[in-house]
C-alpha cells in the first residue's frame, strides 16, 4: 500500500464517534423498530439517579458552612440544591431561604418542596418576588412589567437593604441556598445576602449553585469563574462535570454546536439521533412542525405533557402561530390537564422535558442561548432551522472534524 500510495497517517482516520455523527447527519434512522416510548422509559430509568460525583458533593455541603457548586447544564445542580434544602430544613430544622432567578424554575422548586413538607417560615422562590413582597407587602396591583434591568439588579436589592437595616423585626435566615447564582452575582446582591443571612455573608451558612461559563444569559454584570470565587473569598468549591440529564446524542450535539465539554457522558446512555428539520419560511416551518407533532403524538403516543416547544422568540412572533395545534404558555403545575406547552428558551432555563422542540433557529452564533435550549432535552431533541442556520451548522461540524 505504502509503495503505491505513500505513507498514510492513521491518525487522520475518522473515529467511531465521527462516523456515527456523519452517518446520522446524512441519513438519520427513520425506521427504528423500537417504539419511542420504550426508548424514553429505558433512558429515564438509567438517568434518574444521583451520580457518585453528586453524592460526594452532597456530603461536602454538610461538612462546609459556605460552598460554591459549579456545573454545566444537566450535571444535577438543581437536584443537589433541593436535596440540600430538604436536609437543612427537615433534619437540621433550619429556617432556609431558597432562591433562584427564573420564575418557572421557582414554580418547580415550590411544587417539589411543598410535597416534601416545606416549613412555613422558610422561603422558596425567585429573589425578586422575595424582595418585592418584603418592600411592597401593603400595596396591591403593582405593575413591574415596565421596569428595567437596572431596577431589578440594582435599585430593588439596594432599597431592600436600606429597609432591612431599619427593620428591627426582620428575622434573618439560618441559611440560604441560591440556584442560578450566576444571575445574582453583583455587589448589590452579595450585600443583600449579607443582610438577610444570620451571621452575615462572611460567617453565615450558604450554598451557591452556578454556571458562570455558559448560562449567564440574564445577569447584567458578566463575571468569570475565577473572579467569582475571589469575590466571595474562595469558599469550599465542588465541580459537577458529569452530564446526568441528556442522552449521548444530545450531549454530542451540545458539544458540537455550543462548544461545551463534559468530563464524561454518563453511562454512554443511548437515545435517538438529534433531528434537524430545515424549513423555508414560517408557513413551511409550521407545516413541518405539525407533521412532527402528528408523528410524536398520534403515532408514537407521546404524552402532551412530555413535550415543550422552545424558541428564542415570543409566541406571537414564532412560526408556531401558524400551526394547527394550540399551544399554552408553559406553567409548572403537576396536576394540570395535558396540553402542548410553549416557552421562550430564556424563561425555561433550569428546567427540562422528555421531548424538546427548538423552533425559529435562524443562526447558530448565539452560543449561550442555544446551549440553554439544547440542554433542556432529556430524551429527544428536534431542531427547526432555517437554510442559513443549516449552513452555519454544517460549517461548524466540518470545522470541528477538520480541527
pLDDT at 265: 56
**Nearest Cα residue to 356 out of 385, 384, 381, 322:** 381
Judge contact between 359 and 318, C-beta under 8 A.
yes
Q: Compute CA distances 72 → 168, 289, 304, whole Å.
A: 40, 29, 28
For residue 333, the surrounding DSSP H or E stretch is none
Compute the distance between CA of residue 42 and CA of residue 24 in angstroms, rounded to an integer.
21
Compute the distance between CA of residue 328 and CA of residue 262 in angstroms, rounded to an integer.
34
pLDDT at 234: 93
pLDDT at 30: 43
Judge contact between 262 and 72, C-beta under 8 A.
yes
Q: What is the pTM of this model?
A: 0.79
User: Which residues lie closer than 8 Å to 327 by C-beta, 6 or more apart?
Assistant: 309, 315, 320, 339, 340, 341, 342
> Which grid cell is 52?
457518585
Compute the distance between CA of residue 331 and CA of residue 356 in angstroms, rounded to an integer.
15
Handedness of CA 341, 380, 359, 245 (dihedral sign): positive
pLDDT at 175: 97
pLDDT at 272: 86
Q: For the chain of 403 residues, list the mean pLDDT of each consecutive stretch of 10.
A: 55 65 53 56 56 81 93 87 91 93 91 79 93 80 73 90 93 96 91 96 96 72 86 92 84 80 61 92 97 93 92 96 93 70 92 94 88 91 96 85 60
> Which grid cell is 337?
390537564
Dihedrals phi, psi of 189, to nearest 5 degrees: -75, -35
For residue 67, the surrounding DSSP H or E stretch is strand 66-71
Residues in the chain: 403
> Which grid cell is 76?
444535577
Compute the distance between CA of residue 360 and CA of residue 313 in angstroms, rounded to an integer.
7
pLDDT at 148: 77
Report the DSSP beta bridge partners of residue 47: none
CA max distance for the chain: 89
Per-residue pLDDT of 326-353, as tens digits, reads 998 888 765 566 789 999 999 998 899 9
Which of helix, strand or coil describes residue 75? coil
For residue 373, the surrounding DSSP H or E stretch is helix 367-374
Q: State the residue for C-alpha cell 460552598.
A: 67
Amino acid at each position: 500500500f505504502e509503495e503505491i500510495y505513500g505513507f498514510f497517517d492513521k491518525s487522520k482516520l475518522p473515529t467511531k464517534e465521527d462516523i456515527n455523527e456523519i452517518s446520522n447527519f446524512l441519513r438519520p434512522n427513520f425506521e427504528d423498530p423500537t417504539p419511542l416510548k420504550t426508548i424514553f422509559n429505558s433512558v429515564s430509568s438509567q438517568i434518574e439517579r444521583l451520580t457518585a460525583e453528586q453524592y460526594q458533593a452532597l456530603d461536602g455541603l454538610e461538612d462546609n458552612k459556605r460552598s460554591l457548586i459549579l456545573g454545566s447544564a444537566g450535571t444535577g445542580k438543581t437536584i443537589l440544591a433541593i436535596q440540600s434544602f430538604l436536609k437543612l430544613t427537615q433534619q437540621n430544622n433550619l429556617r432556609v431561604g431558597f432562591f433562584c432567578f427564573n420564575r418557572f424554575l421557582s414554580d418547580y422548586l415550590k411544587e417539589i418542596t411543598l410535597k416534601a413538607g416545606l416549613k412555613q417560615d422558610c422561603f422558596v422562590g425567585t429573589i425578586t418576588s422575595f424582595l418585592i413582597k418584603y418592600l411592597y407587602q401593603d400595596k396591591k396591583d403593582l405593575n413591574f412589567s415596565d421596569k428595567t434591568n437596572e431596577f431589578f439588579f440594582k435599585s430593588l436589592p439596594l432599597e431592600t437593604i436600606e429597609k432591612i437595616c431599619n427593620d428591627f423585626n426582620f428575622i434573618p435566615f439560618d441559611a440560604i441556598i441560591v440556584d442560578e447564582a450566576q444571575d445574582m452575582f453583583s455587589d448589590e446582591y452579595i450585600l443583600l445576602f449579607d443582610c438577610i443571612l444570620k451571621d452575615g455573608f462572611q460567617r453565615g451558612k450558604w450554598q451557591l449553585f452556578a454556571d458562570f461559563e455558559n448560562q449567564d444569559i440574564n445577569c447584567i454584570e458578566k463575571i468569570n469563574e475565577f473572579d467569582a470565587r475571589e469575590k466571595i473569598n474562595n469558599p469550599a468549591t465542588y465541580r459537577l462535570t458529569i452530564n446526568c440529564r441528556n442522552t449521548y446524542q444530545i450531549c454530542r450535539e451540545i458539544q458540537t454546536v455550543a462548544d461545551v465539554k463534559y468530563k464524561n457522558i454518563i453511562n454512554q446512555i443511548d437515545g435517538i439521533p438529534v433531528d434537524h428539520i430545515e424549513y423555508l419560511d414560517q408557513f413551511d416551518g409550521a407545516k413541518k412542525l405539525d407533521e412532527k407533532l402528528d408523528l410524536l403524538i398520534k403515532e408514537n403516543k407521546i404524552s402532551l405533557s412530555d413535550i415543550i416547544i422552545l424558541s428564542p422568540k415570543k409566541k406571537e412572533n414564532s412560526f408556531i402561530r401558524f400551526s394547527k395545534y394550540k399551544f399554552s404558555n408553559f406553567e409548572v403545575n403537576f396536576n394540570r390537564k395535558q396540553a402542548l406547552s410553549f416557552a421562550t428558551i430564556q424563561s425555561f432555563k433550569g428546567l427540562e422535558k422528555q421531548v424538546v422542540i427548538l423552533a425559529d433557529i435562524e443562526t447558530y452564533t448565539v452560543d449561550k442561548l442555544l446551549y440553554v435550549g439544547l440542554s433542556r432535552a432529556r430524551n429527544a431533541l428536534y431542531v427547526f432551522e432555517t437554510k442559513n442556520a443549516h449552513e452555519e451548522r454544517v460549517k461548524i461540524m466540518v470545522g470541528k472534524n477538520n480541527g
